[in-house]
Structure 1
Amino acid sequence: MMANVEIYTWSTCPFCIRAKALLDRKGVTYTEYCIDDDESARAKMSQRAQGRRSVPQIFINDQHIGGCDDITALNAQGKLDSLLQAS
C-alpha cells in the first residue's frame, strides 16, 4: 500500500513544480493543496509544518518531510522510497 502524501503548493512556484515532478516520476498519488493567495490555507500549512510558511511543504503519512530540497535529499540518500511504501 502506498503512503498518504500531501503537498502544499503555489501554482507558479518552481520548487513546487520540481517536487511534484519527482513524485510523478515515482508514480506517487498525492493530494495537492494549492494555496495561491489563501492566507487561511497558508496558516493551516504553517501550523502543520512547525511554522514554515514557504512552499512546497510535503507530508508523508502525516509526517512533515519539508520542502523541495528535503524531499530531493531523501531521494538522493535512498530513503524516500521506503517512506512512500509505508502504510
Structure 2
Amino acid sequence: MPPVTVYSKSWCSYSQAAKALLGRKGVPFTEVDIEVEPERREEMITRSGGRTTVPQIFIGDRHVGGCDDLFALDGRGELDPLLAAA
C-alpha cells in the first residue's frame, strides 16, 4: 500500500470526514495538521498545485484532492485499487 498523507486542520469537518473514510477502510495515513505545523502549509500548497484548503490528500505521490474528491473516487470504485497499488 502506498503511503497516504492528509494535510488537515483539527476542527475541519471535511478533514474529519476524509480521515474517517480512510479509517473505515483500514488505511494508515500520516496526518499533517497545518495549524500545529504552519511551516508545512507551503509544502501542501506546492504539492497540491496551488490548493490552499484542507484537507489535501495524497496517495503515494499522487494528489487525490480534497474530501469530495476522495469520496468521488470511492464512489466510482477507484479508491481501493489506488490504495492497493504498490
RMSD: 1.0
Q: Which runs of 5+ in 2 are unaligned?
A: none
In structure 1, what is the Cα distance between the partners aligned to 2:39 and 2:51?
A: 14
Number of the residue aligned with 1:6? 5
Query: Aligned ranges for residues 1-87 of structure 1 at < 5 Å?
Result: 2-36=1-35, 38-87=37-86
Cα drift, residue 40 of structure 1: 2.4
Q: Which runs of 5+ in 1 are unaligned?
A: none
Q: Taking every aligned residue pair, what percent have the same amino acid on both sides?
A: 50
The normalised TM-score by structure 1 is 0.94
In structure 1, what is the Cα distance between the partners aligned to 2:66 and 2:15?
A: 8
The normalised TM-score by structure 2 is 0.95
Cα drift, residue 6 of structure 1: 0.5
Q: Which one is further off, 70-79 or 36-45?
A: 36-45
Tell me, what secondary structure is at the counterpart of 1:75?
Answer: helix
